[in-house]
Amino acid sequence: MNEQPGTSGLIFNEPLLWDKSRKGRCAMSLPKPDVERTLLDEHLTGDAPDLPQLSELDVVRHYTRLSQWNFGVDSGMYPLGSCTMKYNPKTNEVQAARQGFAAAHPFAGDMFSQGALKLMANLEHYLAKITGFDAVTLQPAAGAHGEFTGMLMIHAFHAKNGRQRSKIIIPDTAHGTNPASASLCGYESVNIKSGKNGILEPEAVAAIMDEDTAGIMVTNPNTLGLFESNIREIADIVHSKGGLVYGDGANMNAIMGIVKPGEVGIDILHLNLHKTFSTPHGGGGPGSGPVAVVKALEPFLPIPRIIKKLDTYEWVTDCPDTIGRIHTFYGHFGVMVRAYSYILSMGAKGLADASKLAVLNANYIKESLKGTLNLPYDRPCMHECVFNDLFQKETHITTMDMAKRLLDFGFHPPTVYFPMVVDGAFMVEPTETESKEDIDQFIDAVKAIAKEAKENPEKLKTAPLRPKVTRLDEVTAARKPCLRG
């Protein structure tokens, strides 16, 4: 299939609801009241809210048209590097919508929440088994929240041992939220550069690891899409000085079912259920960022914790070394149901196969495009590959120009200008859910854009041309945002 998915088809204009409002229109009918109508005093009600008055048809058409402006993973390929925007199987949505789960109330108490408690206890068990750790908490609300939870436990661990430390080592290939999580716990971030092959060198870690350093935060695979193959040796160096190894597991989609981080020297790891375990991703949440730990850190896990007594499950809070509660109730339950459904439907072999296909797809793109875009690290990658715009410099075409032009071909752009260790980065993660046909379409689109960069660079400078909104003045938008429309 050579035809590109992008088209200039019918795109509806849609005004604001207030512009469509007409006095007297109403999209709903209230039931007949069974009590007498009584007017409230004006001082209790104040001015009436400025709500639009619309018919049901007005409302339905408005939101349908807005939805047609959106692009999502159900619309097409979403190759955001370091984000794992994979397709979410609809069976997960069916399970999460079941009345017993969807209507579960956190105040119902242990006795009336056994099904929910059992699901969460099983999910903790499965995540521990997949990652190779001894215990898991599901409480963190998202990845960065999981990072923060992990750093709080590292802080509590050193405090318990009688000597708090002041520094954390963070590689240049780590995720951008790592320094913030460390700073929130009072640690100074010590940057360390990766080696010439794009991974950490043990000698560099040994040179800065001391007894005032609480540990290291390692993203593995890192943001270059490369596996940190020296992780065992690095962990030994950190442990020899009494430090701990924090693993950023946001890129677990590449090694799920293949590598168990808890068995290669990592002490604590957060996961993104909204990445690796195929739950809805984007739009501000909800997410879920479980944290897995080795036995020595289990006492510091947040409360409440779930335990099984005979045939029942219950919450416990009697944990003297805990960092306390870090989220209302116990996290985002609906996301957990979806992840649990995904794990059960995939099984151990299916999870491993997903990782293998994610790596295969990324390497296929890398090999197919490395003569078209510059490839700073030409070596086997994991779930994502990182190019840049070096080949397009001659005609003054940038990564941003190429990303904008991809919109005209019907593709969501990949991640651009990250990781910052690659100048002009163009970072692609196809995930395992994309077929060869779809990936070939993407490859052909990038090659066509690279050809345009040589033959007609001015066209790229004005792209995109087909979407509802063309190229925005991003500087003005940042300085003078128009929030109304």
**How many residues are there in the chain?**
485
The closest of 215, 178, 172, 223 to 194, measured between CA atoms, is 172
Q: Phi/psi of residue 248, each to 5°?
A: -80, 110
Identify residue 397 by its one-letter amino acid code.
I
What is the structure's pLDDT at 485? 47
Q: Which fold has domain 91-345?
A: Aspartate Aminotransferase; domain 2 (3.40.640)
Which CA distances in Å does 397 have to 96, 217, 387, 470? 46, 35, 14, 18
How confident is the prediction along the chain (485 residues), in pLDDT tens digits per residue? Answer: 568 888 777 788 889 999 999 999 998 888 888 998 887 776 666 777 788 999 999 999 999 999 888 888 888 999 999 889 999 999 999 999 999 999 999 899 999 999 999 999 999 999 999 999 999 999 999 999 999 999 999 999 999 999 999 999 999 999 889 999 999 999 999 999 999 999 999 999 999 999 999 999 999 999 999 999 999 999 999 999 999 999 999 999 999 999 999 999 999 999 999 899 998 876 666 889 999 999 999 999 999 999 999 899 999 999 999 999 999 888 899 999 999 999 999 999 999 999 999 999 999 999 999 999 999 999 999 999 999 999 999 999 999 999 999 999 999 999 999 999 999 999 999 999 999 999 999 999 999 999 999 999 999 999 999 888 888 888 888 888 876 54
Question: What's the CATH fold of domain 347-468?
Answer: Aspartate Aminotransferase, domain 1 (3.90.1150)
Question: What pLDDT does 282 receive?
Answer: 66
Give bridge partners of residue 268 from the DSSP assignment: 246, 293
Domain boundaries, the chain: 91-345, 347-468
Which pLDDT score, from 0 to 100, does residue 69 have? 86
> From its phi and psi, is residue 187 left (phi > 0), alpha (psi between -120 and 50) or beta?
beta
On whether the CB atoms of residues 96 and 443 are closer than 8 A, the answer is no
Q: Are 385 and 363 in contact (CB under 8 A)?
A: yes
In this structure, is the dihedral angle defined by the CA atoms of residues 199, 201, 204 and 206, taken in order, positive or negative?
positive
Task: State residue 477's pLDDT score.
Answer: 84
Q: Residue 13: what pLDDT?
A: 85
Q: For the beta carbon of residue 203, count every other beta carbon within 10 angstroms.
A: 11
CA dist., res. 91 & res. 466, Å (int):
34
- Amino acid in the structure at residue 386: V
Residue 314 pairs in a beta bridge with 307
280-289 burial, b for 16+ CB within 10 Å, e for fewer? bbeeeebbbb
